[in-house]
Structure 1
Amino acid sequence: MIRVCISGIGKTGKEIAKFLLEQKDIKLVSAICSPNSNKKGKDLGEIIGKGNTGVKIESSDKIEQIVFRTKPDVVVDFSSPEAAARNAKVFSKLKVNIVIGTTGFSDFTLKRLFLLANKHRNGIVYAPNITLGVNVLMLLTNLAANLLSSYDFQITEVHHKNKKDSPSGTAKKIADEIEKGIKHSGNDDTEVQVPITAIRAGGVVGKHDVMIIGEDDKIEISHESFSRKAFALGTLRAVKFIKGKVGYYEMNDVLNLKKVLNDYIQEENKSNKKRYKNLLGKNEIKAL
């Protein structure tokens, strides 16, 4: 049984809390909101429409008392960038592992998260790209950039009108994967800069499109979250991954997609060898 505390009871936090309460191997033991939130003091179930849960929502200025009393193994943080960075310092000192899905961090703050995990020997998963599908998109984009390094790349991301960070943390990670793919291809001629178009409109949960455009053809890779349950599914994977671990991780570590790809290629190679053996005689195989 993994004991979990949730920090940040906004739209995504509420969906994740609801999902985690349904899991047999997860026990939601505490919930944290900002000091000025009107959710403070209420039962979590009242906020998420689940009836009485026995989990009282408490203020982030009492983190140490909350941790000592409820003893979470993992904290899931979907608060604001400022609050998540501040909270991470306290949780790390208390040696509580953290899954951070909050976006909008500066490069400096991300380096601090890495240093916190190494200094205090706790585990941190930083996952602005926490949905499973968008991580597959990143892997495919990286491969495409490696194979089509001479093509032009363009990212368009669309989110609801209340999302503050622009471009999204996920769009930046996609751009990083494209840049890595191009560099690994051996194309070091120019500085790689991937343009990102950010749109904030309506109630869109999250959509990321990558256009890969050559002189004679175009490829598009797209991912869209239809509901925030997609975030909850990724969060569950991250929580199970980080329990008991030490160090700084990202979602590609959680899902280990590159190993999946390598295993697939090895299996394909084995299948091809078997097929050739069936088609060709021993002398013909030696001739190859």
Structure 2
Amino acid sequence: MKIGLLGFGKTGKAVANVILQNKNFQLQWVLKRSTLLENRNAAEFLGVDSEDSGLIVSSASMTVPDLLDKHPVDIIIDFSSDSGIHTYGHYAAERGIKIISAVSHYKEEELQLLQELAAQTVVFWSPNITLGVNYLLFAAKFLKKIAPDVDIVIVEEHFKEKDGISGTAAKIAEALDVEKSEINSVRAGGIVGKHEVVFGFPYQTVRLTHESISRDAFGNGVLFVAGNLTDKTSGLYNFEDILLPYFSTN
């Protein structure tokens, strides 16, 4: 399965590293805005022994249609910004290329665009694409269903430079009917990402915690999603759509 990757920051590099080491997927190219590292090989740059080309391409030098025609892929993975989907979305959908977006925050305009693209191809979006944190969300929703009146506290911790409330924490809050203003945020050092949901019962406490030890976890999540989208038809999917069949008792 051939993959194109948008974004080559800290997380994008970690995701590329994981893809390059997986024999079931081939990283065809990495698209970034600047010309820095242009025409370099991602595997060589990251020090990974891989046969994949992983060509680093700049959007300043090559248009997206040309890139998709010269270096066709089955899936585009987006770790860029909220505006990234506008640069490639329609071109990918027209070619039937699956889209996996792990962008943390989208405005209403981008969410509407995802819906439009989903009419033509498979589109997946998750603010946090790690398998562990989405399992936490799934389990939290089950517990809330069992005990709807339980007290719930959400705590999210990230690296010092991260702006705003974590998109994952916001998604957890929405799923559990907790006001976003009640989310407790910690910004310190180089914390990759930690989310904790505390359920306060009268005589007991249940804590569900997920902590990303390495950004490679995002790469593992991406490949888990990609593998579970192979048989999907056009539509907009999220992690719940993928995880629900695994919770079947049959």
Q: Compute the TM-score of the two structures, normalised by the length of structure 1.
A: 0.78
Q: CA deviation at 1:41?
A: 3.0
Return closer, same or farther for 1:85/1:209 CA change in 2, 3 Å cut-off.
farther
Residue 42 of structure 1 aligns with which residue?
A: 40
The one-letter code matched in structure 2 to 1:206 is G
Q: Is the 8 A contact 1:43 1:54 kept in 2?
A: yes
User: In 1, distance between residues paired with 2:54 and 2:139?
Assistant: 41
Q: Show the 5 A alignment for 1:245-264.
A: 245-254=233-242, 256=243, 258-263=244-249
User: In 2, distance between residues paired with 1:5 and 1:238?
Assistant: 15
Q: CA deviation at 1:202?
A: 1.3
For residues 43-90 of structure 1, the C-alpha deviation after alignment (integer angstroms, 9 at most, x for no partner) is: 213432237853321123521111001110001111112224433233
User: In 1, distance between residues paired with 2:160 and 2:88?
Assistant: 26
Q: CA deviation at 1:175?
A: 1.6
Residue 240 of structure 1 aligns with which residue?
A: 227
Residue 186 of structure 1 aligns with which residue?
A: none
The one-letter code matched in structure 2 to 1:213 is G
| RMSD between aligned residues | 2.1
User: In 2, distance between residues paired with 1:89 and 1:95?
Assistant: 10
Residue 213 of structure 2 aligns with which residue?
A: 226
Residue 123 of structure 1 aligns with which residue?
A: 122
Identify unmatched segments of 5+ residues in structure 1.
Answer: 180-191, 267-288
User: In 1, distance between residues paired with 2:137 and 2:49?
Assistant: 39
The one-letter code matched in structure 2 to 1:17 is A
Name the SS for the 1:204 alignment partner: coil
Residue 166 of structure 2 aligns with which residue?
A: 168
Q: CA deviation at 1:241?
A: 2.3
Q: Is the 8 A contact 1:45 1:51 kept in 2?
A: yes
Residue 95 of structure 1 aligns with which residue?
A: 96
For residues 113-145 of structure 1, the C-alpha deviation after alignment (integer angstroms, 9 at most, x for no partner) is: 122211xx1111102221111111111110111
User: In 2, distance between residues paired with 1:80 and 1:37?
Assistant: 17
Comparing 12-21 with 64-73, greater Cα deviation is found at 12-21
Return closer, same or farther for 1:198/1:109 CA change in 2, 3 Å cut-off.
farther
Q: Is the 8 A contact 1:74 1:96 kept in 2?
A: yes
Residue 214 of structure 1 aligns with which residue?
A: 201
For residues 189-239 of structure 1, the C-alpha deviation after alignment (integer angstroms, 9 at most, x for no partner) is: xxx636212222211111001111234432211110111121111100112
User: In 2, distance between residues paired with 1:81 and 1:224?
Assistant: 24
Q: Show the 5 A alignment for 1:149-188.
A: 149-164=148-163, 166-179=164-177
The one-letter code matched in structure 2 to 1:5 is G
For residues 132-187 of structure 1, the C-alpha deviation after alignment (integer angstroms, 9 at most, x for no partner) is: 111111111101111221122121111112333x22221122123213xxxxxxxx
Name the SS for the 2:73 alignment partner: coil
Return closer, same or farther for 1:175/1:85 CA change in 2, 3 Å cut-off.
farther
Aligned residue pairs total 245
User: In 2, distance between residues paired with 1:241 and 1:37?
Assistant: 34
Name the SS for the 2:189 alignment partner: coil
Q: Is the 8 A contact 1:15 1:48 kept in 2?
A: no
Q: CA deviation at 1:37?
A: 4.7
Q: Is the 8 A contact 1:129 1:251 kept in 2?
A: no
Residue 186 of structure 2 aligns with which residue?
A: 199
User: In 2, distance between residues paired with 1:243 and 1:43?
Assistant: 27
Q: Is the 8 A contact 2:6 2:12 kept in 1?
A: yes
Q: Is the 8 A contact 2:85 2:110 kept in 1?
A: no
User: In 1, distance between residues paired with 2:49 and 2:199?
Assistant: 48
User: In 2, distance between residues paired with 1:44 and 1:262?
Assistant: 40
Q: Show the 5 A alignment for 1:8-157.
A: 8-34=7-33, 36-50=34-48, 54-60=53-59, 62-118=63-119, 121-157=120-156
Q: CA deviation at 1:259?
A: 3.1
Structure 1 residue runs of 4+, over 6 Å off? Answer: none
Identify unmatched segments of 5+ residues in structure 2.
Answer: none
Q: Compute the TM-score of the two structures, normalised by the length of structure 2.
A: 0.89
Matched, 1:3 2:2: yes
